[in-house]
Amino acid sequence: MDEDEIKEITTDGDTTITKYGSTSQATDENLLELNEIYEMIGLGPAQYLYWTLVALVAYSDFAELTVIAVILPSLRCDWGLTAGFEAAITVSMYGSYAVFAIMFGKVADKYGRKTVIQWSTLLLLLAAICGALSPNKWVFLATRLVTGACIGINLSCIVCYTAEFAESKYRVFGVLVFSFGASGGIGAVSGAAFLVLKNVGWHWLIIIVSLPAVPALILILALPESPRFLCVSGQQDKAMKAVRTMAKLNRRKLQEKIKMACFVDEELGSYSKILNKDNRKSTIALSVMYFCNIFIGYGLIVWLPLMYSANMCGAAQSPKHKCQSLTQDDLLKLTIASGGSILGAIAAVILAQCIGRLIPIRVASLIMSLLIATLFVCVNESFTFATTIIAKIVGTFVNTTLWIMIPESFPTCIRSTATGIINSCGKIGGVFGTACVYLLFYVSPYSVVGIFLFFSFVGFVGTMVYDRETKYEILQEK
């Protein structure tokens, strides 16, 4: 069809306008693109509620990912876990995460983000409660499989939300909220463990850190579906209803005569479109970068508690696998390291807004390689502790920048599908990263750091190969 063509479709007496081409080519002054309608709605309570939902979902997902690393030393003592079974618990969770991220990214592109998120969040909450009540290690392992699947589903959808319910100029702030929620989930688990783990035990700790999933469920049920998804999927009436609801929340009134110009795409969730000539380079390069980032990031999540419980300084020592729970001092160090990572998210958003995406992520990836190299040596415990804090901050910086770039790099019709595939590649990295730590830590911590260093360099190479600066691109259909 000619790209400038404007087509009217009349159903049940109502006229729905479907436009192909740019806004400037429209002949109807009341026919507006979604970005233009968002400008009329303005920034207000509607976006704040969406962002609150994003933060709560991100918190819940990352809290569930982190809590396992904090409580494993306690589980080891309670159930006599071997290093292999500890690895199985974490690897199985990340494995199911990877599989379901791919499957349900496509489902969210075909049937909507809201439907997928509300059911996966409910199941995540139920799995967390069942995990807290587990009578033995096998039941606990099963609950971790379900938890991983729900997180994989959630994160592939929620990051698309951050890009689809506000003007393009605000999309980096949506990712900042996402990163705050994620960092908050990691920090809250460490902080809660520091405050209550010794008093209430790991069962109650899981329940306590899972509670924010309840208001997340309430919000997702109350808020409308992503207007951008509704528009692209041919549901213009519902899209207009959604933006009118947002306008009402922001105390703005949209004129009844305003219609939404939608680029309807029949290739919703198309795997082939992700690897076509327009999207192939973005898919492959971002997958490699995210794989390396998550390999190191999740590896460090489980590395730090093990290093603290083994009283290690540097990677040259070979600790013994034994029943030894984390001390209050260890938990305090974890809390500080996790809380500090929020600084990385803030810096990523500021630099992404001011400079762009490519230069900051390239510099940060290089710095990450240098920081990991310092873990080979032991100057003193304070130096190692400071290095790991800085590494967490820089790692969060890279992760946040990637979460800004990923949804910007794909059109709405395949955004969740592409995000799911890249997200899945990252979690496969998480599988290998955590397995690497659990299986090799008590054999040779030195080799673990060597593997971290290798993938940090590969990630840096990926940032140099990827040459698309998405800062100046408005989210639109292609």
- Whole-structure pTM value: 0.69
Query: What integer pLDDT is reported at residue 453 of this predicted model?
Result: 92
Candidate from 30-44, 157-171, 301-315 with smallest mean pLDDT: 301-315
Look at residue 477 and tell me if it is in a domain.
no
Domain assignment present for 405: yes
Q: Which residues 6+ apart lie within 8 Å of 217 measured at CB? A: 118, 121, 122, 125
Q: How far is CA 125 from the centre of its chain?
A: 18
Residue 351: both structure tokens together: 């630099």
Question: Residue 423 is part of a domain; what is its CATH number?
Answer: 1.20.1250.20
CA 341 – CA 344 distance, rounded (Å): 5
Q: Which residues of 118-152 are buried (b: 16+ CB within 10 A; e: fewer)?
A: bebbbbbbbbbebbbebeebeebbebbebbbbbbb
Residue 366 lies in domain = 45-223+270-465
Is residue 228 in a domain?
Answer: no
Count of structural domains, the chain: 1
Residue 1: the pLDDT is 34
Q: What is the pLDDT of residues 275-334, one digit of tens each?
A: 888 888 889 999 999 999 989 887 887 777 777 666 666 655 566 655 655 666 666 766
pLDDT in tens, 443-470: 777 888 889 999 999 999 999 999 888 8
Least confident among 51-55, 149-153, 195-199: 195-199
- Residue 33 lies inside a defined structural domain of this protein: no
Residue of 452, 446, 439 whose CA lies nearest to 394: 452
Strand partners, 10: 15
Q: Which residues pair with residue 11 across a beta bridge?
A: 14
pLDDT at 473: 66
Q: How far apart are CA 278 and CA 221, in angstroms?
A: 36
User: Distance between CA 41 and CA 254 in Å, rounded?
Assistant: 8
> Measured in whole angstroms, how far is the alpha carbon of residue 329 from the centre of its chain?
29
Q: What integer is the mean pLDDT of 255-278?
A: 77
- pLDDT at res. 324: 57
- Is residue 27 one of the residues assigned to a domain? no
Residue whose pair of structure tokens reads 């709605």 in the numeric block: 41
Determine which of 190-194, 262-266, 289-293, 415-419 has the lowest per-residue pLDDT on average: 262-266
The verdict on residue 12 lying in a domain is: no
| In-domain check, residue 10 | no
Do the Cβ atoms of 232 and 264 come closer than 8 Å? yes
Long-range contacts of 355-358, Cβ-Cβ distance < 8 Å, separation of 24 or more: 356/469, 356/471, 357/401, 357/404, 357/405, 357/469, 357/470, 357/471, 358/463, 358/466, 358/467, 358/468, 358/469
Bridging pattern class, strands 31-32 and 259-260: parallel
Question: Does the structure show a pLDDT above 50 at 6?
Answer: no
Token couple for 256: 């009844």
**Which of 109-118, 315-324, 372-381 has the weakest average pLDDT?**
315-324
Q: Please enumerate in sequence order all residues whose Cβ is within 8 A of that of 452, keeping only pairs 6 or more positions apart, or say none.
A: 295, 296, 299, 300, 372, 375
Least confident of 118-122, 195-199, 288-292, 335-339: 335-339
Q: Is residue 264 part of a domain?
A: no
Q: Which of 410, 436, 471, 396 is nearest to 106 (CA)?
A: 410
